Amino acid sequence: MQLEGSLSQFPLRELIEMAVYSSVSGVLEVRVGDDIGRIFFRDGLPQHAELSELQGIDAIGRMFAEPDAPFRFLADSTPVAPTLWMDPWEIIELAEHQAQTWVKVRPHVPLLSAVPALRMPVQRALTPGNEDLKPLLTLIDGRRSIPDIAQDLGVAPIDVYVGIARLVQQKIVVLARPQPPTDSTGNLQTSPGDAEEKQSGFFERLIARALEEERRKSEPRQSEPRRSEPRQSEPRHSEPRRSEPRVS
């Protein structure tokens, strides 16, 4: 089973409901910017969700904030470590509620794995209206990503994203892309899969894969070439030459 389209045609709520009613096992993939979010189902129940460094309900809530994103559903029964234990309808309601917050945060923090850095000392950033953000400000060091900070604070990632968005609006924080990992010699660590992910888009890979499958199906089965026997030419028969009698 494979279904693909846009969330503008098939809203995420309907896709989750369809998976639940159909009791299917598979993966629902949703394109969110440069990332791909995944919701794993087993016998119709959501088991796990991931998007960049987000997991569980935080990942689904971010997907709900993308009403026009492309998606695809692939049948699969591979077991995953569960991060979702709630009733599917509770998951949908909570994710839709989170999505309203994500819509407000998204313009200021478009990259989920962004690394915040202070543009001024912490004491200067602690204006009268930012006292509640002191624990967050003390952990912004230009190295930790937003999910890392949420983990260190022991709070939900969405709460940290809201605080970072507020600091970005106040021009106290600037966001940077995370540095790619390097090996002991300082060279970038890349894999063929990562290179392919960057070079080709989500649906471009789907189209290429579909075309390859069609080509294989339509390609005639190759057989051993037929060997032609060498043509034997028939010997040419000629009439025996009659010798004339010699006249002496």
Residue entry with tokens 């200021």: 108
Angle value at C-alpha 81, between 76 and 86, nearest 5 degrees: 95
**DSSP-assigned letter for residue 61:** H
What are the sequence ranges of the domains in the chain? 2-105, 115-176
Angle at alpha carbon of residue 97, lines to 55 and 100, rounded to 5°: 95
For residue 114 the two structure tokens come to: 């962004």
Percentage of the chain exceeding pLDDT 90? 66
Residue numbers in the chain where pLDDT is lower than 70: 1, 181-248
Q: 119-141 pLDDT, tens per residue?
A: 999 999 998 889 999 999 999 99
Q: Which residue has the tokens 């923090």?
A: 109
Q: What angle separates helix 157-169 from helix 88-105, to the nearest 10 degrees?
A: 10
pLDDT for 179 equals 75
Helix runs in the chain, H state only: 12-22, 57-64, 88-105, 122-125, 134-139, 146-153, 157-169, 192-199, 202-218
Cα 55 → chain centroid: 14
Q: What's the maximum distance between 2 C-alpha atoms anywhere in the chain? A: 149
Does the pTM of the predicted model rise above 0.85?
no
In angstroms, the CA 39 to CA 15 distance is 11
